[in-house]
A and B are shown apart, each in its own frame.
Chain A
Amino acid sequence: MKPSGRPKIYGLMAEFEHSRGLVEAARRAHHEGYRRMDAYSPVPIEELHDALHMHDNRLPKLVLTGGVLGGLGGYGLQYWVSTIAYPLNVGGRPPHSWPAFIPVTFELTILAAALTAVLGMLALNGLPQPFHPVFNVPRFALASRNRFFLCIEAVDPKFHIEKTRTFLESLGAREVTTVEN
């Protein structure tokens, strides 16, 4: 299944005992010029956003779009049903009795926005993804418990198996492991 041109090594992974160590390492690695890297932690760490220079603001825009479309769709549905497809005279109210359409419009706005938030988050994160090379490192199971990992990927232009390893070791990592692809 492996494409023939795929390198054997995914990257180098350094393990840290504290979140401080990880944040500091990510900062230094970025400063050093590494760009293709990712940090792994058992909790969200706000400081990593700056350290890794993450600027992905697509999700809120997607959610806004989803909500607006849900609202317009909900109102449009009720308008079409009540005035065009199946006009009913209820207590002499006009077919397009907009105040009565607000609750459903509101609910569908929320529904579409919430679905967009969850599906959008998963899609942008590339999940579900049953396999990822980082799972090849046995100690990586601790990333969901109490350890912190920084992985510099082999596709980074600055990546050099020896130099990068020395660099990661100099950051106070507990252990540096090669991540098999």
Chain B
Amino acid sequence: MSETPETRHTEGRRASAGGAARPPVPVIAPGHSFSTVTDKISAIVLTRSTGLGWWFGFGIAFLLVNVLLISLTYLIAEGTGIWGVNVPVGWGFAIINFVWWIGIGHAGTLISAILLLFKQSWRTSINRFAEAMTLFAVACAAIFPLIHTGRPWLAIYWLFPYPNTMDVWPQFRSPLIWDVFAVSTYATVSALFWFVGLIPDLATLRDRSESKVGRVIYGALAMGWRGSAHHWHRYETAYLLLAGLATPLVVSVHTIVSFDFAVSVVPGWHATIFPPYFVAGAIYSGFAMVLTLAIPIRKIYGLEDFITERHLNNMAKILLVTGLIVAYGYMIEAFMAWYSANTYETYMMRNRMTGPYGPFYWALILCNGVIPQFLWIKKIRTNVLLLFIISLIVNVGMWLERFVIVVTSLHRDFLPSSWGRYSPTVWDWGLYVGTIGLFLALLFLFLRFLPMISIFEMRTLVPDAKPGDGGSGGAR
């Protein structure tokens, strides 16, 4: 193995362990120290000038939030009759969007928890905003089942077990109740994980903020964190335990979401492949969304030192792998429909491919199954623009997948006399586009007011973090 002294300096440990022919790109550009990492990331938040670009982006997102608010208001005033749903397609956009959003959230937890347990140090610079993405995606997802109940003000006693004057309790054998517990637990644990990760960084912002308001707000949120060794000890234990708890949780959430479908008897839904196929699809769409966000953010905020080519390359590989699992799921769905020799299953698959929604099916195969195969080529994985385009295509593909699953199974099931068609109304679109606005608006606020990269974890990547390494020091 040939390597220059320079690559050995920055890449020594990994290169010698892996024995790779070419030195991998580092997870943090060389030359950074504790102070440069701290200053660079906190300066994005602590600057007094808010860029015009930020206002422009936030403004558009805020307009879309208003579309959401108008759509919600009209929905609550009029009822779900304003949607395109009817017999036989009773699930429509609300459930499609719910599954799409909740799936996007999964990448955040995967990056923050599972990659932490596997000691993947490259996760460090993307985990904070991936977790934020999770929280905002779950917030968007949670809107849909709630409004889908039709009368959300009653949903509290339909969904949550609490002693009420009617003595009525939820039905715990229903996957929809499992969903309530899975999604609310997921939202809570994601928020906890995110907040715990933020505490030391909030202390940094408190100490570095020059405005009194900033000091008070960041100081209150940091809760008096002072970096004591005793605190760090328990903090790290808690963080690791949270990662260990979040790992099975994230797998369970989309498993339970898939139960909403799989526990039914509807052709195309009643399949044992659903849980793993849904979990893989969730991670797939989530990584696509992380790439969609990371690529412009690193460019706009000049974070190429921290989110390097290696991060993009690794995420593209995960996209490729989960995409292959999803493609396998599509193949097994088709195979089982044929192999079951069941009239309804066979017809469902034929109708899915050649029926009125056939073009959507083939579009999803193209978006999720064919185009991501370009990621086998390293030149494309490291081409930022192409990767960005592929990530957008996967986002679209994963939305189409949920559309196809929900609509094609429902619109023609067992009884031809009750077959029908589904098309969304302007209010369906208003809610969908509105949640995209909510997601982006929250993201813009997050980028402006909180460190988008974990500062203290980035410090652990510079040489002085490990006393044994004999690094050149954090005092620079």
Q: Which residues of B contact A108 (CB under 8 A)?
A: 181, 185
Query: Is the CB of A97 closer than 8 A to any CB of chain B?
Result: yes
Query: Is the CB of B20 closer than 8 A to any CB of chain A?
Result: no
Given contacts A19-B464, A118-B196, whether A86 and B168 have CB atoms under 8 Å apart is yes
Report A37-70 residues with CB < 8 Å from chain B CB: 38-45, 47-49, 52, 54, 56, 59-60, 63, 67
Q: Across the two chains, which residue of chain B brings its CB closest to A55?
A: B233
Q: Are A103 and B259 in contact (CB under 8 A)?
A: yes
Q: Is the interface of A mostly helix, strand, loop or mixed?
A: helix
Complex: A41 Cα to B237 Cα, angstroms: 17
Q: Are A145 and B467 in contact (CB under 8 A)?
A: no
> Within the complex, which residue of A54, A101, A125 is in contact with B172, where a contact is CB–CB below 8 Å?
A101
Task: Count residues on chain B whose CB falls below 8 Å from chain A CBs.
Answer: 73
Q: Are B238 and A44 in contact (CB under 8 A)?
A: no
Give the Cβ gap from A150 to chain B, nearest Cβ, in Å.
Answer: 9
Instruction: With a 10 A CB-CB cut-off, give which of A19, A135, A147 has the most chain B CB atoms.
Output: A19
- Binary CB contact string for chain A from 162 to 178 against chain B (1 if under 8 A, 0 otherwise): 00000000000000000
Q: Which residues of A contact B476 (CB under 8 A)?
A: 146
Between A and B, how many residue pairs show CB distances below 8 Å? 216
- Binary CB contact string for chain B from 436 to 449 against chain A (1 if under 8 A, 0 otherwise): 00000000000000
Task: Count residues on chain A whose CB falls below 8 Å from chain B CBs.
Answer: 71
Q: Which residues of A contact B132 (CB under 8 A)?
A: none
Query: Is the CB of B33 closer than 8 A to any CB of chain A?
Result: yes
Complex: A122 Cα to B199 Cα, angstroms: 11
> Within the complex, which residue of A54, A103, A146 is in contact with B475, where a contact is CB–CB below 8 Å?
A146
Q: Across the two chains, which residue of chain B brings its CB closest to A91?
A: B173
Give the Cβ gap from B401 to chain A, nearest Cβ, in Å.
Answer: 23
Q: Are B230 and A125 in contact (CB under 8 A)?
A: yes
Q: Are B196 and A121 in contact (CB under 8 A)?
A: yes
Give the Cβ gap from B462 to chain A, nearest Cβ, in Å.
Answer: 9
Q: Are B226 and A63 in contact (CB under 8 A)?
A: no
Instruction: With a 10 A CB-CB cut-off, give which of A23, A59, A118, A147 has the most chain B CB atoms.
Output: A118
Give the Cβ gap from B238 to chain A, nearest Cβ, in Å.
Answer: 4
> Within the complex, which residue of B167, B177, B195, B459 is in contact with A104, where a contact is CB–CB below 8 Å?
B177
Q: Which residues of B contact A111 (CB under 8 A)?
A: 185, 188-189
Give the Cβ gap from A114 to chain B, nearest Cβ, in Å.
Answer: 5
Complex: A106 Cα to B117 Cα, angstroms: 21
Q: Are A17 and B474 in contact (CB under 8 A)?
A: yes
Q: Are B207 and A121 in contact (CB under 8 A)?
A: no
Given contacts A40-B229, A81-B170, whether A103 and B181 have CB atoms under 8 Å apart is yes
Q: Are A107 and B167 in contact (CB under 8 A)?
A: no
Query: Is the CB of B178 closer than 8 A to any CB of chain A?
Result: yes
Q: Are B173 and A145 in contact (CB under 8 A)?
A: no
Query: Is the CB of A157 closer than 8 A to any CB of chain B?
Result: no
Q: Are B230 and A114 in contact (CB under 8 A)?
A: no
Given contacts A54-B229, A113-B245, A117-B241, whether A103 and B189 have CB atoms under 8 Å apart is no
Given contacts A115-B192, A118-B196, A125-B235, whether A146 and B230 have CB atoms under 8 Å apart is no
- Binary CB contact string for chain A from 122 to 137 against chain B (1 if under 8 A, 0 otherwise): 1011011111101100
Q: Which residues of A contact B246 (CB under 8 A)?
A: 110, 114
17 further interface pairs, Cβ-Cβ under 8 Å (given A45-B229, A130-B219): A39-B228, A40-B229, A42-B459, A43-B460, A43-B465, A54-B229, A63-B241, A67-B245, A88-B171, A108-B185, A110-B245, A121-B237, A127-B225, A130-B220, A130-B224, A145-B207, A146-B38
Q: Which residues on B are within 8 Å of A, measured CB to CB?
A: 33-35, 38-39, 161, 167-175, 177-178, 181-182, 185, 188-189, 192-193, 195-196, 200, 203-204, 206-208, 219-220, 223-238, 241-242, 245-246, 248-249, 252, 256, 259, 456, 459-460, 464-468, 470-471, 473-476
14 A-B contacts (beta carbon < 8 Å): A38-B229, A44-B456, A47-B467, A56-B234, A59-B238, A103-B182, A114-B192, A117-B238, A121-B234, A121-B238, A130-B220, A146-B35, A146-B38, A147-B474
Q: Which residues on A are within 8 Å of B, measured CB to CB?
A: 17-20, 22-23, 26, 38-45, 47-49, 52, 54, 56, 59-60, 63, 67, 77-78, 81-82, 85-86, 88, 90, 93, 97, 100-101, 103-104, 106-108, 110-111, 113-115, 117-118, 120-122, 124-125, 127-132, 134-135, 140-148
The 4 A-B pairs of least Cβ separation, nearest first, read A128-B223, A121-B238, A146-B34, A17-B475
